[in-house]
Amino acid sequence: MILDGKCPTGPIEQTWDKHRFDLKLVNPANKRKYNVIVVGTGLAGGAAAASLGELGYNVQAFCYQDSPRRAHSIAAQGGINAAKNYPNDGDSIYRLFYDTIKGGDFRAREADVWRLAQVSNNIIDQCVAQGVPFGRDYAGYLDNRSFGGAQVSRTFFARGQTGQQLLLGAYSALSRQIKAGTVQMYNRREMLDLVVVDGVARGITCRNLITGELESYAADAVCLCTGGYVNVFYLSTNAMGCSVTANWKAHKKGALFANPCYTQIHPTCIPQAGDYQSKLTLMSESLRNDGRCWAPKKKGDNRPPQQIPEDERDYYLERKYPSFGNLAPRDIASRAAKEQCDDSRGVGPGGRGVYLDFADSIKRLGEDTIRERYGNLFEMYEKITDENGYKTPMRIYPAPHYSMGGLWVDYNLMSNIPGLFVLGEANFSVHGANRLGASALMQGLADGYFVIPYTIGGYLTTVKPGQVKKDHAEFKKSVEDVNKDVNRFLSINGKRTVTDFMRELGGLMWENCGMARSKESLETNLKKIPALREEFWKNVKVSGSGAELNQQLENAGRTADFLEFGELMCRDALHRNESCGGHFRSEFQYEDGEAKRDDANYCYVGAWEFKGIGVEPELHKEPLKFENVHLAVRSYK
C-alpha cells in the first residue's frame, strides 16, 4: 500500500493557512456533545487536553503518574526553538523549516515541518502569557541561546529547566480546565488497550494502578500523547515509567508504526557507573555553547585532564566540523564521541567517555557567568559523580534520549485508524531521522496547542457523537484480553525478575541496534529477541495479585511490549540499507565516516503493519517529496 499523508499542495508558505480554512468546523453548541480522550499529559497531551477543553469538547485525560505535572517533558533542560528572529541574526520561519529538514537528514515531510516552524512563534507568546518565566535581559526582552544544527540563536530557555516551566504552563492551563469541568482528569491510570469498533477508534481500556481495576472509557476520538520508546535500551535518559505500551497496543489494533529504527542517542550524558544502574542522566546540549568536547590524542592516556597539555588534546568536533564546531547536531556529535572511544582514546571507567571542558569559558567569562547559565546542571553533575565540573572537565558519553519514529499519522495527526490521533514524540512526523536540539518541546506544544484543536474538528464533523458506548461488546472483549495478560503474568512464577529480562533486552538493543548497526548485528538480534521473549513467558516471576497496586505487574506489561517492539525496531533497521541521521548502518558510510544516504531507494517513510507476534510485519511506504529544500549530502563542515 502506498500511504497518503494528505499533505496540502501549493506554495509551502500558504499550506497551513489554506488547510486550516478548508477544515470543517464544529459549531460551538455541538462541541460539548463530543467526547475526546487524551492519553498522556506531557507537553503534547497537557496542551491538547487544555486547549480542547477550552474549546468546549468533553475531555477525559489520563496519566500513569499521580499528577499530570510529572510527565517526562518536565525533564527537558535546555530550551525551545522559535523563529522569532529577536536577535536579528538572520532567522526566519523558512530558516527554521530548512534547518529542521536538513537536521532530520531529509527523512521528514516538508508540509508538517513548515507548519511546525510557522506556529513556533505562537508557542513562545502563549507560554509568556501563561507566566512561564523565560530568561530575559536587563531591559526586559526575551533572551536566546544557540543549539546544535543551527547558526542562529533561536532557543528560548528558563534556566536549565525549560521543559519543567513549559510543562507547568500547560499543566496550569489544564488545571484551569479541570476546575471548569471541561476536562475530567484520571491520574494513576495506564492505558493497556485501544478499543476499535468497525475499524474506528472508540475508546481505551485502562488499569487503575491503585486498585488494579480494569476500566473502559468511550469517546468519539482518542489522542495518544504517550511519548517515546527509547527505554527499549533499558538505560536511557527517559523516566522509569516511559514505555512503548500505549503505542504498541494501538499498533496491534492496526495502527502503522513508522520508522521505528530512528532513535536519538544524545551526545552529552553522564557515563554509566555500574551494572546496577537504573537510568542515565542527560547534561543539556546548551552546555555545548560554552563547553568544548575533547579526548586525549594519545591512546590509553590515563593522566588527569589538567595534566594533559593543550597540544595533546583532540578537540574533535572543532577539528572535524569547523563551521558548527561543538554545536554539531546530536547524531554527528554522538558518533564522533563513540569514534574517539572506539579508538581507545576514551576517558573514565571502561574508557567510555570524553571530556566536556569549561576551562576556556570560565577564563573568558568568569565562573559566575557559567554558574548563572548552567548552575543547576553543574549541581546535578556533582550529585551523581561527586566531581566539580567547574574545576575538572565533565565526563560525558552518548545515551538513548528520544525516538524520532512513532505511529504513522497524516497531516491532520490522524493515524490510519480513523479517530486515533497521535501527538508529540509518540508520532513520527517532523524530525525525520534526527531531531535537532530544542525541537521536541516545540513539537509537543505545537501539536497540542495549535494543530490538534483545528484538525480534530475536521474529523469530528464526519462522525455522529456518542455512537458507541462502553457497554459495547468490543469494550468487554478488550477488558477480558487485558485481564488474560494480567493473569498470565501472575501464573508463570518463574525464576527471573522483570528487571532482569528488561536489562538483557536493553543490552541486546544497545549492542546490536544502538549508535551503529550492521546487517550482522541486526540479524543476531532477530534471533535472540524472540528467544528471550519465549523465555520471558516461561520464566518471569511476578508476585502479588492483579487487584492491588503492583509495580512488578506494571513493569511486566511494559517489558512484554518492549520484547515485541524491539524485534520490529531491528527489522526496520535491517530493511533500511542506508545510513541517515540517528540510523547508522556501518556498511553504509563515506570514507570519512559520515552517514551515506540512499535517496534513490530509501527516500520514504517506512510504516509497518502488525501481522501477529513473531510474524513478519508488512511494510507500507509513503514516498517523501522535497520541493522546497533540495536533497543534498548533509554537511556541517
Active site residues: 330
Query: Parallel, antiparallel, or unpaired for β 221-224 and 35-39?
Result: parallel
Q: Is 198 or 275 the residue whose CB approaches another protein more closely?
A: 275
Q: Is 481 or 500 the residue whose CB approaches another protein more closely?
A: 500
189 phi/psi in degrees, rounded to 5: -125, 135
Q: Which cell numbers in the block locate residue 168?
A: 507547568
- Candidates 68-76, 257-265, 335-343, 516-524; binding stretch for another protein (CB under 8 A): 68-76
Q: Which cell numbers in the block locate residue 613?
A: 507476534
Judged by CB under 8 A, the residue of 6, 14, 17, 141 near another protein is: 141
- Candidates 60-68, 91-99, 333-341, 525-533; binding stretch for another protein (CB under 8 A): 60-68
> Of residues 472-531, which lie at the interface with another protein (CB under 8 A)?
497, 499-500
Site track for another protein across 597-616, x = CB under 8 A: --------------------
Kindly state the greatest CA–CA separation across the chain: 73
- For the CB of residue 339, give the shortest distance to another protein in the complex, in Å: 22
> Total number of residues binding another protein (CB under 8 A)?
84
The radius of gyration of the chain from alpha carbons, rounded to an integer in Å, stands at 24
- For the CB of residue 617, give the shortest distance to another protein in the complex, in Å: 31
Amino acid residing at 38: V
Q: Is 16 in the site for another protein (CB under 8 A)?
A: no
Q: Is 179 in the site for another protein (CB under 8 A)?
A: yes
Judged by CB under 8 A, the residue of 27, 306, 369, 551 near another protein is: 551
3-state secondary structure of 314: strand
Q: Is 434 or 559 the residue whose CB approaches another protein more closely?
A: 559
- For the CB of residue 365, give the shortest distance to another protein in the complex, in Å: 17
Lateral strand order in the sheet of 214-218: 189-197, 200-208, 214-218
Judged by CB under 8 A, the residue of 10, 133, 199, 466 near another protein is: 133
Gap between the Cα atoms of 341 and 359, Å rounded:
22
Judged by CB under 8 A, the residue of 19, 31, 69, 320 near another protein is: 69
**Helix/strand number for the chain, H first, E second:** 18, 19
Q: Is 15 or 51 the residue whose CB approaches another protein more closely?
A: 51
Strand partners, 208: 189
Q: Is 181 in the site for another protein (CB under 8 A)?
A: no
* CA nearest to 559, candidates 575, 581, 537, 580: 537
> Of residues 554-593, which lie at the interface with another protein (CB under 8 A)?
none
Burial category of 386 from C-beta neighbours within 10 Å (exposed 0-12, middle 13-18, buried 19 and up): exposed
Q: Which cell numbers in the block locate residue 541?
A: 516471576
Gap between the Cα atoms of 543 and 550, Å rounded:
8
- For the CB of residue 543, give the shortest distance to another protein in the complex, in Å: 6
Query: What Cα–Cα distance (Å) separates residue 293 from each residue in 337, 398, 624?
Result: 9, 12, 35
Gap between the Cα atoms of 326 and 316, Å rounded:
9
Q: Is 539 in the site for another protein (CB under 8 A)?
A: no
> Of residues 84-103, which lie at the interface with another protein (CB under 8 A)?
84, 86
- For the CB of residue 450, give the shortest distance to another protein in the complex, in Å: 7
- For the CB of residue 158, give the shortest distance to another protein in the complex, in Å: 6
Long-range contacts of 376-380 (CB under 8 A, 24+ apart): 376/159, 376/160, 376/161, 377/77, 377/160, 377/283, 377/284, 377/287, 380/281, 380/283
The owner of cell 476546575 is: 179
Report whether 160 contacts 286 (CB < 8 A). yes
- For the CB of residue 126, give the shortest distance to another protein in the complex, in Å: 6
> Of residues 266-325, which lie at the interface with another protein (CB under 8 A)?
272-279, 281-282
Q: Which residues 6+ apart lie within 8 Å of 397 measured at CB?
A: 269, 270, 271, 272, 337, 341, 346, 352, 353, 354
The region, left, alpha or beta by phi > 0 then psi within -120 to 50, assigned to residue 432 is left
Q: Is 161 or 525 the residue whose CB approaches another protein more closely?
A: 161
* CA nearest to 224, candidates 25, 402, 49, 101: 49
Judged by CB under 8 A, the residue of 418, 453, 458, 507 near another protein is: 453
Q: Is 279 or 298 the residue whose CB approaches another protein more closely?
A: 279
Site track for another protein across 217-256, x = CB under 8 A: --------------------x-xxx---------------
Q: Is 17 in the site for another protein (CB under 8 A)?
A: no
- Candidates 63-71, 220-228, 590-598, 600-608; binding stretch for another protein (CB under 8 A): 63-71
609 phi/psi in degrees, rounded to 5: -105, 130
Residue 277: count other Cβ atoms within 10 Å of its Cβ: 11
- For the CB of residue 627, give the shortest distance to another protein in the complex, in Å: 29
> Of residues 390-429, which lie at the interface with another protein (CB under 8 A)?
none
Burial category of 253 from C-beta neighbours within 10 Å (exposed 0-12, middle 13-18, buried 19 and up): middle
Gap between the Cα atoms of 609 and 567, Å rounded:
13
For the chain, the straight-line distance linking the first and the last C-alpha, in angstroms and rounded, comes to: 39
- Candidates 193-201, 257-265, 381-389, 599-607; binding stretch for another protein (CB under 8 A): 381-389
Q: Is 224 or 399 the residue whose CB approaches another protein more closely?
A: 399
- For the CB of residue 325, give the shortest distance to another protein in the complex, in Å: 28
Q: Is 158 in the site for another protein (CB under 8 A)?
A: yes
> Of residues 350-379, which lie at the interface with another protein (CB under 8 A)?
350, 379
- For the CB of residue 395, give the shortest distance to another protein in the complex, in Å: 13
> Of residues 433-452, which lie at the interface with another protein (CB under 8 A)?
449-450
Judged by CB under 8 A, the residue of 81, 118, 161, 243 near another protein is: 161
- Candidates 10-18, 125-133, 189-197, 223-231; binding stretch for another protein (CB under 8 A): 125-133
Q: Is 107 in the site for another protein (CB under 8 A)?
A: no
Q: Which cell numbers in the block locate residue 86?
A: 529577536
Site track for another protein across 33-52, x = CB under 8 A: --------------x--xx-
Report whether 554 contacts 212 (CB < 8 A). no
Query: What Cα–Cα distance (Å) separates residue 507 from each residue in 145, 267, 393, 514?
Result: 36, 19, 28, 10
Q: Is 168 in the site for another protein (CB under 8 A)?
A: yes
Gap between the Cα atoms of 209 and 211, Å rounded:
6
Q: Is 142 or 359 the residue whose CB approaches another protein more closely?
A: 142
Q: Is 302 or 499 the residue whose CB approaches another protein more closely?
A: 499
Q: Is 36 or 196 the residue whose CB approaches another protein more closely?
A: 36
3-state secondary structure of 574: helix
- For the CB of residue 25, give the shortest distance to another protein in the complex, in Å: 15
- For the CB of residue 420, give the shortest distance to another protein in the complex, in Å: 23
SS (H, E, C) 148-177: CCCCCCCEECCCCCHHHHHHHHHHHHHHHH
Judged by CB under 8 A, the residue of 165, 205, 334, 521 near another protein is: 165
